[in-house]
Structure 1
Amino acid sequence: MLNRPVPQRSPEELIALRRRYLNPTLSLSYQEPLKIVRGEGAYLFDQHGQPYLDMVNNVCHVGHCHPKVVAAGAAQMAMLNTNTRYLHDNLVEYALRLTETLPQSLSVVFMTNSGTEANDLALRIARAYTAANDVIVLDHAYHGNSPSMIDLSPYKFNGRGGRGKPAHVQFVPMPDSYRDANAQDADYAESHAAHIDNAINRIHARGEKPAVFYAEAMLGCGGQTVLPPGYLQQAYARVRAAGGVCLADEVQIGFGRDGEYFWSFQSHGVVPDIVTMGKPIGNGHPVGAVVTTPEIAAAFVTGMEYFNTFSGNPVSCAIAMAVLEVIQEEKLQQNALETGAYLQQGLRQLAQQHSLIGDVRGRGLFLGAELVRDRESKVAATAEAKRIVEILKTQQILLSTDGPLDNVLKIKPPVVFQRSHADQFLQALGDALHRL
C-alpha cells in the first residue's frame, strides 16, 4: 500500500468508480463529464492538455494556482501548521489586513474553514446578541450546506429533496427588476422592502422576535440578480427597528468582484452588522471568515469557548494574505470593473442580435444573461440555456446556468479574466446563439 502511485484512469473508469464508492448526490457537470487535471489563470486543462476557459469558477478568485498564493501556502506548510491556541503572527496580521478593507465598525474577526461555516457561526453570534431565534431571508437564496444553512436557503428547502420552510425562517420575495411588473416604479425598492414588515409580523405572531436578516447584494442562485438601489437600506432599517441585526453574505461576491467596490454591500450605501466570507478568500484553499462589531462580538462571550481546530491556522492565513496582496498588486478590482463592463457591453450587443437573450445584468465580473423564448411573455428558455452550455463546452469554454427557472447563464470567472478572454467567449456565445 505504501508509495503506490495514483493510477491515471479514463473518465469512464472514474465515473464508474464514483458511482460505486461515492454518494450519488455528488453531481457532475456536463452530459459528458470532463477530467480536469491542471489549472492556470483563467483556464482549466484536461488530461490531454486541452485548455478550457473557465467562466464560472469564482472560487479561484485570483486565478487557478496563482504562483504567489501557492508559494505562500507551501512555504508556511513546510514550516508550521497548528491551531490557534498558540500565538502566531499570521492570524492577527490577517485580521488587521482584512478589517482595513471594511467599514471601521466591522473590526472583530472570526476565522472559519468555509463560507458555510461562516454563515453558520454568524447565526450563533446573531442569536447570542439579539436573544432572538427567527431569521429572515430572500427567496431563492443559498447560504450553505450545513443543516442550519439548508434551513436558511429557499434554494434548497424549496427545491428538489427539500422539506419546505422551517417554522423559525421567514422568506421574502426576491426583487426581480426584469420580471416584476412594477420594477420601473419609483417606489419599487421601498414597496419590496415592505415585505420585511410582513415577515416580522409573522414572527411576532409566533411569539418570537427576529434575530437576523441574511442577504446577498447580488444573488447567484437567484439568477445573478442585483438588488435594486435603496432596497437594502429600507430592509436594514426595518429589521433593526424590530431588534434584529443585518448580515451581508459576501461569500460569492466579495473581494473586489463587484469592480466598483471591494465589498458588494458597499454599492448599496449600507453598513451591515455582520459580514460573512468564503470561496475567494483563500483562492480555493478551505478558509472563511465572519467579521462583526465589537458590541455584537462581546455578546458571544458567554463562557462557552469557540474553538475550531483548523480555522485561522498559519497556512490558511498565509494563503489568505497572499490573495489580498495579489488583488492589490495586480489591480484585480479595477480589472473586474473594466473587463466586466466590456463583457457586459458585449452581451448587450448580442442581445440586440438575438431575442433569446431577454436580460443582461450584474456588476463587475458577476454577470447573468437570462434566456427567454419570447420577450413579451418572458417564457424561460431553460432547455436552450442548457444547450448553450453544452455547445460552449465543445468550444472549450466552461459555463453554467442558475436562477429560479434555471435559464440564466451565470458568468463569474476568476477576476484575472481579460478582454481577450471576453472576446473568445462572446464569439463562441454568438455562434451558439446562431445555431439555436
Structure 2
Amino acid sequence: MAADQRPKADTLALRQRLISSSCRLFFPEDPVKIVRAQGQYMYDEQGAEYIDCISNVAHVGHCHPLVVQAAHEQNQVLNTNSRYLHDNIVDYAQRLSETLPEQLCVFYFLNSGSEANDLALRLARHYTGHQDVVVLDHAYHGHLSSLIDISPYKFRNLDGQKEWVHVAPLPDTYRGPYREDHPNPAMAYANEVKRVVSSAQEKGRKIAAFFAESLPSVGGQIIPPAGYFSQVADSREKTSSLTSSPWASPLATATLLPAWPQPSLWRGHLKPPALSTSTRGVGLFIGVDLIKDEATRTPATEEAAYLVSRLKENYVLLSTDGPGRNILKFKPPMCFSLDNARQVVAKLDAILTDMEEKVRSCETLRLQP
C-alpha cells in the first residue's frame, strides 16, 4: 500500500516511531499531539486544553503577542548573521550589562543553550591550552556531540565516558553521600571536586573547565548547598587549571511572580505507607521527589510514572526526571498563575487520594478488583 494511502492510525504510528527514534517522547505509550499553544496552555488536535507544567523554554508563555509581533516586524526588515554592524546588538548588550556585575561586560550572542555551552568549552580550552573537563554526575549540557561527551545523563547510554571527562558527585543533600545532617555539605562536595581534579592530574591530565548547572535539572532539580560553588572556585585558584561555567544550562526562575504554594500543600496525601516526598526548587522550577520509604529514600519510579500519566488524563502536562525517574518536574512558563498552581495541586491531591484507596501494591500499581 502506498504511503499516502495508509490509514490515518498507521500514519500516526509511523510518525511516532520516527519521532521516538530521535528523541524521548512524553507519555510514549499514549503520546499527545499538540498543535498550538497560548500562554500557559497547550491544545491537542481535538482542541482539548492542557495546563503546561513542562515547557519552560517559552519563558514568558507560548506565542506571547509582543514576542510574536517583534519577530514578525524584524523578519520584514532583516534576518541575517551577525557579521555586520547593527545598533540592536550593541543596545541589547548595553541593557544586559546594566543588570549584571561590572565584571560581566563581554557578550556572545548565540541561538541556543547547546551553542552557548559549546562555545564556553572552546573558550576554556583555548585559554588554558588544556583538554579535560570536570562535570557533575547526571548532568546534561546539550545535544551537540561536544556536549553529549560531557553529559553523564547522555553518554552513559551512548558511547560511554571519554578519558578526558572526569565526573564528580552531584551535590545532592537529599540522596547523595553528604546529606542534610552533614556539618558542612558544601565543603564536603567541593572536596569531591578537588579529589577528582587531583586524581586526574596524577594521571597527567590537565583540566580546562568545570561545567555545572546552577540548579541541576535532569539530575533531579537539585539545589547545591550554600557555598558549594565558591568552594569549587577556590580549587580553581589553587590548581591554576580549572575554570568554571556556573550557567551551563538555561534555567527558568520567576522570583517576583506570585509565590508557588507552600510545600505543605503537596503533602496532603503523600505519607507512608503509600508515598512520601521531598519538595525543592526556586521560583517556578520545582522538583517533588517521590519516595517509597522515608528511611531508605527509595525512588518511587513506577508511582511517579503512573501519577504523571493520570495527570495527563486530567489535562495537566508534567514530566518526571532524576536518576530514578521519580521526581515530578515542574517548569511552567512564567505566566503560570496561582490559580493554575491551585488547579494542579487539587488534581494531584485527588489522584494521590485515589491511589491510596485503590492501589494494592505501590510496586506494581495493581488496582483492587
Query: Are the structure 2 counterparts of residues 349 and 97 from structure 1 closer, same or farther at C-alpha, using a change threshold of 3 Å?
Result: farther
State the partner residue of 2:367. Answer: none
State the partner residue of 1:253. Answer: 251
**Cα distance in 1, alignment partners of residues 280 and 341 from structure 2:** 16
State the partner residue of 1:84. Answer: 82
1:199 aligns with 2:192: no
Query: Are the structure 2 counterparts of residues 365 and 354 from structure 1 closer, same or farther at C-alpha, using a change threshold of 3 Å?
Result: farther
State the partner residue of 1:403. Answer: 322
Task: Measure how far apart 1:352 and its partner are.
Answer: 5.7
Query: Are the structure 2 counterparts of residues 95 and 222 from structure 1 closer, same or farther at C-alpha, using a change threshold of 3 Å?
Result: same
**Cα distance in 2, alignment partners of residues 229 and 77 from structure 1:** 44
1:368 aligns with 2:287: yes
Task: Measure how far apart 1:206 and its partner are.
Answer: 2.9
Query: Are the structure 2 counterparts of residues 227 and 241 from structure 1 closer, same or farther at C-alpha, using a change threshold of 3 Å?
Result: same
**What stretches of structure 2 of length at least 5 have no aligned partner?**
1-6, 356-369
Query: Are the structure 2 counterparts of residues 250 and 137 from structure 1 closer, same or farther at C-alpha, using a change threshold of 3 Å?
Result: closer
1:339 aligns with 2:259: yes
* Structure 1 letter corresponding to 2:58: C
- Indicate if the aligned counterparts of 1:240 and 1:246 stay in contact, CA closer than 8 A: no
Task: Measure how far apart 1:142 and its partner are.
Answer: 0.3
Matches within 5 A, 1:156-235: 156-158=154-156, 160=157, 162-180=158-176, 182-183=178-179, 184-235=181-232
Query: Are the structure 2 counterparts of residues 46 and 11 from structure 1 closer, same or farther at C-alpha, using a change threshold of 3 Å?
Result: farther
Task: Measure how far apart 1:354 and its partner are.
Answer: 8.2
- Indicate if the aligned counterparts of 1:11 and 1:33 stay in contact, CA closer than 8 A: no
- Indicate if the aligned counterparts of 1:212 and 1:239 stay in contact, CA closer than 8 A: no
Task: Measure how far apart 1:129 and its partner are.
Answer: 1.4
**Cα distance in 1, alignment partners of residues 9 and 88 from structure 2:** 40
Query: Are the structure 2 counterparts of residues 181 and 141 from structure 1 closer, same or farther at C-alpha, using a change threshold of 3 Å?
Result: closer
Query: Are the structure 2 counterparts of residues 35 and 210 from structure 1 closer, same or farther at C-alpha, using a change threshold of 3 Å?
Result: same
TM-score by length of structure 2 reads 0.88
1:20-39: CA deviations, max 9, x gaps?
Answer: x6672333221211111111
* Structure 2 letter corresponding to 1:210: I
Query: Are the structure 2 counterparts of residues 17 and 178 from structure 1 closer, same or farther at C-alpha, using a change threshold of 3 Å?
Result: closer
State how many pairs are aligned: 346
1:257-298: CA deviations, max 9, x gaps?
Answer: 152xxxxxxxxxxxxxxxxxxxxxxxxxxxxxxxxxxxxxxx
**Alignment partner for residue 48 of structure 1, among 32, 46, 52?**
46
**Cα distance in 1, alignment partners of residues 76 and 264 from structure 2:** 46
1:388 aligns with 2:310: no
State the partner residue of 1:13. Answer: 11
**Cα distance in 2, alignment partners of residues 343 and 15 from structure 1:** 42
Task: Measure how far apart 1:82 and its partner are.
Answer: 1.4
Task: Measure how far apart 1:178 and its partner are.
Answer: 1.2
Identical pairs, percent: 40
1:130-188: CA deviations, max 9, x gaps?
Answer: 22221111101000111110111011112x3x222211111100122112364222211
* Structure 2 letter corresponding to 1:413: P
Query: Are the structure 2 counterparts of residues 37 and 231 from structure 1 closer, same or farther at C-alpha, using a change threshold of 3 Å?
Result: same
Query: Are the structure 2 counterparts of residues 194 and 131 from structure 1 closer, same or farther at C-alpha, using a change threshold of 3 Å?
Result: same
1:51-104: CA deviations, max 9, x gaps?
Answer: 100011110010000000110000100111112122212211222222322222
* Structure 1 letter corresponding to 2:280: R
Query: Are the structure 2 counterparts of residues 391 and 22 from structure 1 closer, same or farther at C-alpha, using a change threshold of 3 Å?
Result: closer
For the residue of structure 2 that corresponds to 1:434, the secondary structure is: helix
**Cα distance in 2, alignment partners of residues 345 and 42 from structure 1:** 24
**Alignment partner for residue 378 of structure 1, among 276, 281, 297?**
297
CA RMSD of aligned residues (A): 2.0
* Structure 2 letter corresponding to 1:173: P
**Alignment partner for residue 422 of structure 1, among 330, 333, 341?**
341
Higher relative contact order (CA 8 A, sep 6+): 1
Task: Measure how far apart 1:17 and its partner are.
Answer: 3.5
**Cα distance in 2, alignment partners of residues 193 and 203 from structure 1:** 16
State the partner residue of 1:262. Answer: none
Task: Measure how far apart 1:120 and its partner are.
Answer: 0.5
**Cα distance in 2, alignment partners of residues 181 and 85 from structure 1:** 49
* Structure 2 letter corresponding to 1:169: V
Query: Are the structure 2 counterparts of residues 11 and 372 from structure 1 closer, same or farther at C-alpha, using a change threshold of 3 Å?
Result: farther
State the partner residue of 1:124. Answer: 122
Task: Measure how far apart 1:10 and its partner are.
Answer: 5.8
* Structure 1 letter corresponding to 2:214: A
* Structure 2 letter corresponding to 1:78: Q
1:308-348: CA deviations, max 9, x gaps?
Answer: xxxxxxxxxxxxxxxxxxxxxxxxxx00xx423x2544224
**Cα distance in 2, alignment partners of residues 23 and 370 from structure 1:** 26
For the residue of structure 2 that corresponds to 1:339, the secondary structure is: coil
TM-score by length of structure 1 reads 0.75
State the partner residue of 1:323. Answer: none
Query: Are the structure 2 counterparts of residues 226 and 111 from structure 1 closer, same or farther at C-alpha, using a change threshold of 3 Å?
Result: same
Task: Measure how far apart 1:203 and its partner are.
Answer: 2.1
Query: Are the structure 2 counterparts of residues 390 and 18 from structure 1 closer, same or farther at C-alpha, using a change threshold of 3 Å?
Result: closer
State the partner residue of 2:4. Answer: none
